[in-house]
Each structure stands twice: as C-alpha cells, then as structure tokens.
A and B are shown apart, each in its own frame.
Chain A
Amino acid sequence: MLIEALLAVTFLSAVAVLAAPEKWAAKLAAALSLLPLAGSLLLYSRYDGAGNALLQSGTPAFETTRQWISFGEYALQWHVGLDGVSLPLVALTAVMTTLAVVTAWNYIDDRRSEFYALLLFTEASLFGVFAALDFFVWFVFWEFVLVPLYLLVAVWGGPRRSYAAIKFFVYTNVASLVLFVGFMLVVFASPVESFDLAAVAAAVRGDELTTFYGLAPDTVTTIAFFALFFGFAVKTALVPFHTWLPDAYTEAPTPVTLVLAGVVTKMGTYSLLRFNVTMFPETTREFAPLLGALAVVTVLYGSFVAVSQQDLKRIVAYTSIPSMGFVLLGLVTYTTYGLSGATFQMVSHGVLIGLLFLAVGAIERSTDTRMVDKLSGVASEMPVTASLFVAGAFGYMGLPLMSGFAAEFFIFTGSFQAAYANAALITAVAMFGIVVIAGYLLWTMQRVLFGPYAVDTDAAVADPARSALAPGVALVLLAIGLGVAPDVFMGMIQDSINAILGGGV
C-alpha cells in the first residue's frame, strides 16, 4: 500500500495547500512536498523487485490489485506497482517538484495557494502515471496531468500564455485520443478481458491477437503500434510533433518549466518504453531503422533550430528536443545498453534541463531580458547563477563524471551494437548532434556569460537570494552524483530492462 499512501499524501497536501491562507502557502507547500520526497526515498530503499512490472506479472514491487469497475466481461482494475524503470522516475518527480516549489518562492506572488496546490496535484498525477499497471488507471492519471499544467501555464504564464496553454492542451489531447483508440484496438482484438497492461503485453507478445473487423492481426499490431507511438511522440515532443514545446516551455513560469521539461516529457518516453518497446518487440524491431532515422532528425533539427534562436529560454527549450531524440535512439536499439541508457537519460535530462531553466530564469529576473544580444558578461555580476548555467551546459555536452555522459555513453554503445540495418551509420550521424549542441551552448555562454559586462538595465544585476539558488546547487550535486555513481539507478534499471529483452545481454 506504499504507492497508495504516496498518492494520498500528495493529493491531500495539494488540498491542504489550497485551503491554507495565502501567506502560508509557499512555506507549507515546501514542507509538505518533503513528504512525497521522503516517501519516494523510502520506496527506493525498500525496493527489491528484480523483474519488469509488465512482463513478470505478479512481481512488481509494492504491487496492489483491486477490483474497480466491472462492465460486462471486461474488468477495470486498480493495479499499481513499480519496477526499475518507473521507480527512478518517481524519485525524479518528487525531487523536481520540491525544487520547483522552492524556486516558486521567488517567482510567484499572485494567488499562491492555488499555484502550489496545482503543482502538488501535478506531482500526484505524475506518480500515478509512472505507477499504473492498468490502462484505465494509467490513462486517468495521464489526462489528470494535463488539467493542472494547463491552468499553471494559462494563469501564471508569460505574455502569450493563453496561446501556449491552448496549443499544449489541444496537441496532447488529440494525441491522447489517438493512443486511446490504438490501445483499445489491441484489447478488443485480443482474447484478454481486462485492460491490465501485463495481460495485454502477454497476449501481444504471445501472438494471441485475432482478426478484428476484418483487420489481420499483423495489421492490428502495426496500427496500434503507430497510434501509440504518435500519442507518445507528441508528449515527448519528437520532431515533427514538437511545436507545442517551445511555446509551452517559454511561456510557463520557471518553476512550471522545471516540472514540464524535467518530468512531463518523460511521461512520453517512459510510455514509449512501457507500451511500444515492451509490448510490441517484433514491431519495434521491424520499424527500428525508420524510428532511428526519426531520432536522428529530431536530434539534428532540434539542435540546428536552437542555434538560430535569440531568446535564451527558447535556446534551452530547443536543447531539450535533441535529448529526447537520443532517448528514442536508445529505445529502438533493443539492447541492454541502449534501453538502460535511454531510461537513465530520462532521469539525467530532467536534472540537467531543470538546471539550465533555473539559471535562465534567474538571469531573466535580474536583467529583465532573455535576448542573447542584449546580454554580455553576466558572469561577472552573477557568478553563482553563471556557474549553474555552465554546470548544466557541460552536463548537457556529456562531460564525463556528470549524468549526461553516463546516459549518452550507454545509448551510443547500445546503438552501435543494435541489430537493425545501418544502425552504426544512424548512430554516427546522431552523435554529430552532440557536437552541434556543444557548439551552440559554448557560443551562448561565450556571448551571455563571459566577455565584458554590458547589460542595459536600470536594475542592479546580482545573484538572486539563496533560496532561489539552492535548488540549482542541489541539481548540480545530483548531476555529479548520478555521473560518478550511475549505479544508484543503473542496477535496478538494467534488471528490469533485461526482463524486457528476455534476460542476458
């Protein structure tokens, strides 16, 4: 019942913050957000499952199954549990939310109770997404995430908040509808009479699908695979389904961007692994060259567009896109290294992108601008903020002993070993993206942080308060910690990944 307790504590914290007086909201939210954080650490310390939650049904850690609704012969179940893939993301969610709450102290002055309540509500919904093992439970939480995020962007966002919020909402909702239909197709075509992910996965992997309304089983599988892929690709913001992302990231207030970029896009990559890769291994292998090519396009397109941006926040937003391309590249390899690296990258990317957005937020608040051409030599006045940005950027470039290095190393190793045609070529082209990313990040740092100080503003440019920098320092420590000792998560990730691959490297 630990997962239920975690969900309940987080939901109740949201309600408590909503009910609390405005002036207590910030501190109360921070204090309450420590509870799920402690809870996720407790889950981590007590985790002993070695299986994959989908494929070794019966053995996910902290599992609960309860009858929810029965309808005809179909049963909807409350079924949750964690494995080595989802637990790191639960921990990431808890960490990022706490940091977002602390960051918000310095950003949000308006309607604070509602803001913090929605943030905690998002956290609880994200926990639900990562822990759910029944499609309906998963889908309810998946859509639950949207509503608070929509409100957070629409109410507290930047000047174009309405446009960004609607775009985000419409894109992800259409995607949800498509993936819903795709999943239903598989369930109705299979003899399974529940929406339990493990049961459906077993049916698909065991070739138990039957002809459905004249569609051959193979056709059903392919349609469902791509319907699901489309749904997750939009959430992950793979090119060409990425256009909601720069707007949403740029218009969202910094604490919300932290959650959006740090965790919400991981819902997509996590689900790609959970549904597409795990349930449809044959189809994944069959289309691996195509998907690998899409990953390369995502990497290159994202990084080249980032080069042409003038707005610091948009640069960081576009920087997020190639990383998701690397995750996809790792996922289609179907090797232990590739899949583990992709999963590790989900966590690592959350930490690093959060770091960059924090630094950009601090620079914007202090200098009143985000335009690269109006900033110069910021490091001399804001040394700590600049260091955070540099740390984040180096992590992004894959500096050894930082989390990005471990993740990308595994992904590329796996990708070179992948069995599909032209895997080595595709990997080599994708790796070129790292060079572009490193190039424009260095160039950006050169222009914004270093050189002579020349910022045209009346405000005194200085590092923000300690409470605004503390989350950044924590993220740097996390990035280094994960880089030095990736085994904190890597061990449990690999155990679960090996189950997907059928054991053995």
Chain B
Amino acid sequence: MVELPPLSPQYVLGLAALLVLAVDTLSPGDRKDGLLAAIAAAGTLTATGLAVWFAWAGTGSDALTAFEGALVVDDLALFFTVLVGSVAALVVVASYDYVREHAHAAEYYALVLLATTGMSALAAANSLATVFVALELVSIPSYVLVGFLKSNKDSVEASMKYFLVGALSSAVMLYGLSLVYGATGSLALPEVAAAASEQSLGGVFGVGVLMVLGGFLFKTASVPFHFWAPEAYEGAPAPISAFLSSASKAAGFAAAFRVFTVAFPLDAVASTVNWALVLAVLAAVTMTLGNFAAARQEAVKRMLAYSSIGHAGYVLIGLAALAGDADGLVLGASMMHLFAYGFMNTGAFLFVALAEHWGVGETFEDYEGLGRRAPVASLAMTVFVFSLAGLPVGAGFLSKYFLFASAVDAGFVWLVAIALVNSALSLYFYSRVVTSLWGESERDFDIRSRPAGLYAAVVAAGVVTVLLLVAFDPVADTAVSAATALLG
C-alpha cells in the first residue's frame, strides 16, 4: 500500500479549490452549481475523512514534520483539521441553495476551500512564518466572502470593516513576529522556546509576544480585537457567518495553542511577559462582554454573533489556566469545547440562513411560531441553542463541564465563577430563541420551498451535536492526548 503524505488533507483541500476554478474556467457560460458544490463537498469530506483516519491510525501520536519543520502533523493538527473540515463540509452543503441565487458560484466555493486549506495549515503550522502565511490564507478569502453579497450595503460595509481591522491586526502581528525573530534569531517554534529559555530576553521579546497575541485575539474575535465580529457576522451571508465564527475561530485558537505552548512556554518566558495573566483577564472580559451584549440584542443573528465572542472567552480559559497546575486537561477541554462548538454554532447560524431564505425576518419576534411550520429544523435549532447554553441535550454540556471542572482543578475558581454566571445569563438569551420558535403566534409563514442542502446541513449538525453527547470519548481522548503532547 502506498503511504499517503502526512499533509494529504491539506493537499486535498487545496486541489479541490483549484479543481472548482478549473471546472468553471472550462465552461464559463453555464451554471453548474450542483457539480461545483459536489466537488467542494467531496473535497472537504475527503480531507476530513483522511484526518480522521490518520488520527485513528496513530499518525499524530509521533509527530511528522514537513518542510524542514515548518509544518507538523500531530494530534493537534489532525484534531483541528477534522473540526474545520467538518464545518466546511456543512457550510458547503448549506451554501448550495444560497449560492444558486447569486453569480460567481465557483469563486465562492473556491474561496471557502482555500480558507479551509489555510485553517488546516494554521493548525499544522510549526514556524512563525507558516503561522503568518496560513493566517493570511484564511483571512483574505474571508474578507471577500463576507462581502460576497456585493449589492447589499451591510455586506459590503461588514467586509470593509473586517478587512481594515484585519489588515491592521495582521500588521501588528507581523511586527510582533519580527521582534520575536530579532530577539531569538529563529522562526521555528521549538527554537524560539530554546532561545527564550537559554537566556533572559529583554523587553523587545515581551512586546513581540504581546503583539503576536494581538493577532490571535483578532482571529478568534476576543477582546480587545472583537469589534469587527458582530458587524462581519451580521453582514456576511449566514453560511459564511457560521464558517467564520466556528472554523476560523477554531483555527485561530489551534495556532494560538501551539505558538503559546511550544514557542512561548510559560516557564521560560514568564519572567519577561506573563501572558497567562493577560489571558486570564482577557478571558473574563471577553466572556462577560460577549454575553452581556448578546443579552441586549433583538436580532437573532447579532445575538449569535455576540455569544460567539462569549464562547471565545470560555475557550481562552484553557490558555489562561496553564498558569496553574498545568497538565493537558484544561487545554484539552478548550479543544473539546471548540469541537462541540463547531457543530452547534454552525448549526445555529445555518438555521438563521434557513430563516433568511424564507424571508422570516431577523428579530426574535419574527421567529415567533416558526416551530409549528418547520418543526424539524426548529427542533434542531432548539438543540443547538440549548447545547450552546450548556444544557445536556447536546455535546456543549459535556465540553463546558470539562472546561470548567478542569479550570477549577488548575486552581482558577474565580475565572470559573465568572464563567458560571455568564453561562447562567446565556440561558436567558438562548432560551428566548426557543420561546419565540415555539411560542404562540398565528402568523403564517411562507414556507413552501424546502432548500434541501440547507435542511440537510442543519439536520446533520443537529444529529452530530446530540450524538457527540453519547460518543464524546474519542474526542476527549484525542484532545487531551494532543494537549498533553503539546505541553511536552
């Protein structure tokens, strides 16, 4: 049997993107949405399947490096490749009905695939240079996708804002990287750590680390680089909002986890810059700000956008708690939460896409009584938001529980107390969705068309969210062993 190269998932994703463009170039005139969507879906599913297989076969347990260590395939990389691949597959399937109504279908799918390639490369990036390149490969298609509805003012404005904030934070991060390079003389993550632990590096290095952190905070929509997120998520086509708030955020965290544990391990750099303390404060602020803002929203999509910021705050606990009695648990729990979040949050945004498709409206009131007309999709949405709130109807319950419990274990009771209050608050705005869906209203919805792709994606996300509750063990196992390996 021929041995597949370890970066096969990334290759498949990139090739699928090129194939979509090639097919479109060969016959530019015709509409062939079905074929393009099929290629894109096959590409993402194959990549996901390969990553699952690699993880299963143990490829990740002794990490393989490629390109002189610039990329590494370990459990962490495979874990996040599975995550972003699955989300991308859901988004591609859901986009079918959406894109059919617009021009440039091929470009749309190609951009989604390229961004996914970037995300999985980001998870595998083992050098500050590849981190930056992969980050830009994620960002640039994202700017375009947010502005995909180019005749829609909100979409264009969102894209503009996203691009400006993105360009600024890229610049900040790049400057930070150059400072780190200047101080340590290396871009490879392990060598940076070696240099940092051998000698006491000065303030230049510390500033560099904080600027790199800024780049990641932007990508994960965390305070203080979160301003773009609600606008971008609201203005973008709903499947793209799902993509950005789940996959892009997860990929950003994947790289952050690797960079901060491998290149800037806390015991080596804490004397220069105690990033864990910074992150603990930012985690508390991020989740509080996100949840309180979400509670004040009237539009469902904006509520989800702000609550997405809140969830970034929960995940940051994973990095912040490394300052405590660190083992792989709390970092692994953050990864698990991102995994569960990938499905339930994508599903929730896709449900919003479904509502947009039907022209239902944006606010909670507009959703009133929708459950009677579209029970299956509404039931799935009920599962998503309850799971996001942390009720045990979906995997969100377990992932949140593991995250909070392991943070308590690491000695961060105060952070968990804040998270618990936030989590209780989030029940309020999440259950508002459910109340609207199943509430009393005699409004008649015009739900004649049942967009097959969108429906399939919503139901699939719902089924996975529930099934993960039962079959969480492999996720937990992989996440904890990946995190433990990362911490060395």
Look across to chain A and name the residue whose beta carbon is closest to the beta carbon of B479.
Answer: A71
Q: Could you give, for residues 416-459 of chain A, a 1 whenever the CB lies within 8 Å of some chain B CB and a 0 otherwise?
A: 00000000000000000000000000000000000000000000
| B371 and A71 contact, CB distance less than 8 A | no
A111 lies within 8 A of B329 (CB): no
With a CB–CB cut-off of 8 A, which chain B residues contact A146?
391
Q: Could you tell me which residues of chain A, from 203 to 220, have a CB within 8 Å of some CB in chain B?
A: 213
Interface contact A139-B382, CB-CB below 8 Å: no
CB closest chain-A residue, reference B411: A213
Min C-beta distance of B416 to chain A, whole Å: 10
Q: Are A143 and B393 in contact (CB under 8 A)?
A: yes
B167 at the binding interface (Cβ < 8 Å): no
Does B420 sit within 8 A of A, measured CB to CB? yes
Q: A72-B409, A147-B386 are in contact. Are A111 and B438 (CB under 8 A)?
A: no
- Cβ distance A182 to chain B, nearest Cβ, rounded Å: 13
A139 and B392 in contact, given A71-B402, A72-B480, A114-B375 (Cβ under 8 angstroms): yes
Contact A69 B473 (CB under 8 A): yes
With contacts A71-B402, A155-B371, A184-B405 taken as known, whether A140 is within 8 angstroms of B435 at the C-beta atoms is: no
Given contacts A111-B372, A151-B438, contact A71 B420 (CB under 8 A): no
**Known A69-B473, A161-B440: A169·B397 in contact at CB below 8 Å:** no
Per-residue CB proximity of A130-173 to B under 8 Å, as 1/0? 00000000011001101100110011000001100110011001
Contact B476 A69 (CB under 8 A): yes
Q: In the complex, are the beta carbons of B476 and A154 less than 8 A apart? A: no
Q: Mark A69-80, 1 if CB is under 8 A from B, else 0.
A: 111101000000
Partner of B329 from the list A71, A140, A154 (CB cut-off 8 Å) is: A71
Q: Kindly list chain A residues whose C-beta atoms are within 8 Å of the C-beta of B420.
A: 177, 181
Which residues between 116 and 141 of chain A lie within 8 Å of chain B, taking CB atoms?
Answer: 139-140
Instruction: Tell me, yes or no, whether A68 is within 8 Å of chain B by CB.
Output: yes
- A248 to chain B minimum Cβ distance, whole angstroms, is 15
Which B319-334 residues have a C-beta within 8 angstroms of A? 327, 329, 333
Cβ-based interface call for A47 (8 A): no
Contact yes or no, A143 B329, CB < 8 A: no
Given A71-B402, A72-B480, residue A173 in contact with residue B427 (CB < 8 A):
yes
Nearest-CB distance from A175 to chain B (Å)?
Answer: 12
Q: How far is the CB of B119 from chain A (nearest CB, A)?
A: 26
- A74 and B473 CA atoms in complex are apart in Å by 12
Shortest CB-to-CB span from A373 to chain B, Å, is 28
The digit string for B14-32, where 1 denotes a CB below 8 A from any CB of A, is 0000000000000000000
Task: Give complex CA distance A173, B424 in Å.
Answer: 9
Say whether B431 contacts A169, CB under 8 Å. yes
Interface string of A173-206 (1 = CB under 8 A from B): 1100100010010001000000000000000000
How far, in angstroms, from A162 to B436 measured CA to CA in the complex?
Answer: 9
For B419-435 the 0/1 string (1 means CB < 8 A from A) is 01000100100010011
**Nearest chain B residue, comparing its CB with the CB of A155:** B438
A contacts with B: majority SS = helix
CB-based contact A162/B409 at 8 Å? no
Establish whether residues B427 and A71, one from each chain, have CB atoms under 8 Å apart when the complex forms. no
Give A458 to B409 CA distance when docked, in angstroms: 68
Q: How far is the CA of A70 from the CA of B479 in the complex (A)?
A: 12
Minimum C-beta distance from B414 to chain A (A): 11
Instruction: Give the residue of B375, B397, B406 whose beta carbon is less than 8 angstroms from that of A140.
Output: B397
A165 to B413, CA, bound (A): 34
Which residues of chain A are within 8 angstroms of B409 by Cβ–Cβ distance? 72
Interface residues of B in 442-488 (CB under 8 A from A): 469, 472-473, 476-477, 480
Contact B440 A69 (CB under 8 A): no
**Known contacts A162-B435, A188-B408, A213-B413; is A70 also within 8 Å of B473 by CB?**
yes
A140 pairs with B469, CB closer than 8 A: yes
Q: Interface readout for B370-402 with A: 1 if CB under 8 Å, 0 if not? A: 011001000000100010000111000110001
A383 to B435, CA, bound (A): 41
Q: Is the CB of B424 within 8 A of A177?
A: yes
Q: How far is the CB of A111 from chain B (nearest CB, A)?
A: 7
Give CA–CA (A150, B435) in the complex, Å. Answer: 9
- Tell me, in angstroms, the Cα distance from A69 to B392 when the chains sit together: 15
What CA separation (Å) do A188 and B410 show in the bound complex? 12
> Which residues of chain B are near A166, meaning CB under 8 Å?
431, 435
Task: Kindly state whether residue B439 has any CB partner on chain A within 8 Å.
Answer: yes
* Residue numbers in B under 8 Å from A177 (CB-CB): 420, 424
Distance in angstroms between the alpha carbons of A482 and B34 in the assembled complex? 65
Most chain B CB within a 10 A radius of its CB, from A72, A139, A146, A165: A72
A71 and B397: CB pair below 8 A?
Answer: no
Contact across chains for B372 and A72 when beta carbons are under 8 A apart? no
* Contact status A71-B408, CB under 8 Å: no
With contact pairs A72-B409, A155-B372, A177-B424 given, residues A162 and B392 touching in the complex (Cβ less than 8 Å) = no
Query: Given A70-B476, A154-B435, are A162 and B398 neighbors across the interface (CB < 8 Å)?
Result: no
B392:A144 contact, CB within 8 angstroms: yes
Q: Is B472 touching A69 in the complex (CB atoms < 8 A)?
A: yes
Closest to A166 in B: B435
Cβ–Cβ < 8 Å partners of B391 in chain A: 143, 146, 173
In the complex, the chain B residue whose C-beta lies closest to that of A180 is: B401
Name the CB-closest residue of A to B409: A72
CB-CB under 8 A from B371, the residues of chain A are 151, 155
Distance in Å: Cβ of B457 to nearest Cβ of chain A: 21
* B323-357 interface code vs A (CB 8 A; 1 in, 0 out): 00001010001000000000000000000000000
Chain A: minimal CB distance from B293 (Å): 21
B430 to chain A minimum Cβ distance, whole angstroms, is 11
Chain A, residue nearest B393 (CB): A147
Q: Which residue on chain A has the smallest CB distance to residue B473?
A: A69
Shortest Cβ gap from A20 to chain B (Å): 14
A162 surroundings in chain B (CB, below 8 A): 435, 439-440
Name the one of A69, A144, A155, A174 contacting B398, with C-beta atoms under 8 angstroms. Answer: A69
Closest to B369 in A: A155
Residue of A nearest to B383 (CB): A147
A71→B480 contact, CB < 8 A = yes
- Chain A neighbourhood of B480, CB < 8 A: 71-72
**CB nearest neighbor in B for A173:** B427
> What separation, in Å, do the CA atoms of A184 and B420 have in the docked complex?
13
**Chain A proximity of B38: nearest CB distance (Å):** 28
CA distance A150 to B439 in the complex (A): 11
* Nearest CB in chain B to that of A72: its residue: B329
Residues of chain A lying within 8 A (CB to CB) of residue B333: 71
State the CA gap A71–B331 with chains docked (Å). Answer: 12
B446 smallest CB distance to A (angstroms): 19
**In the complex, A166 Cα to B434 Cα: how many Å?**
10
Given the complex, which residues of B lie within 8 Å of A150, measured CB to CB?
Answer: 434, 438
Question: How far, in whole Å, are A424 and B311 apart by their CA atoms in the complex?
Answer: 54
In the bound complex, how far is the Cα of B401 from the Cα of A71, in angstroms? 11
Complex Cα spacing A156 to B420, Å: 33
Instruction: Please give me the residue from chain B that is nearest to A178 by CB atom.
Output: B424
Q: Report how far A147 CA is from B435 CA in the complex, Å.
A: 12
The chain A residue with its CB closest to the CB of B477 is A70
Q: What's the minimum C-beta distance from B257 to chain A, rounded to whole angstroms?
A: 18
Q: Once the chains are docked, how many angstroms separate the CA of A151 from the CA of B438? A: 7
Residues of B within 8 A of A144 (CB): 392-393
A69-B472, A143-B392, A147-B382 given; 19 more Cβ-contact pairs under 8 Å: A70-B473, A70-B476, A70-B477, A71-B329, A72-B329, A72-B406, A74-B405, A114-B375, A139-B392, A140-B397, A143-B393, A147-B393, A151-B382, A154-B435, A155-B371, A165-B438, A166-B431, A170-B431, A173-B391
Could you jot down 26 A-B contacts, CB within 8 Å? A68-B473, A69-B473, A70-B473, A70-B476, A71-B329, A71-B402, A71-B480, A72-B327, A72-B480, A74-B405, A140-B469, A143-B393, A144-B393, A150-B434, A151-B382, A151-B438, A154-B438, A155-B372, A155-B438, A162-B440, A166-B435, A170-B431, A173-B431, A174-B424, A177-B424, A188-B408
B residues engaging A (CB < 8 A)? Answer: 327, 329, 333, 371-372, 375, 382, 386, 391-393, 397-398, 402, 405-406, 408-409, 413, 420, 424, 427, 431, 434-435, 438-440, 469, 472-473, 476-477, 480
The 10 closest A-B pairs by CB, nearest first: A140-B392, A154-B438, A72-B329, A69-B473, A143-B392, A162-B439, A69-B472, A162-B440, A143-B391, A71-B402
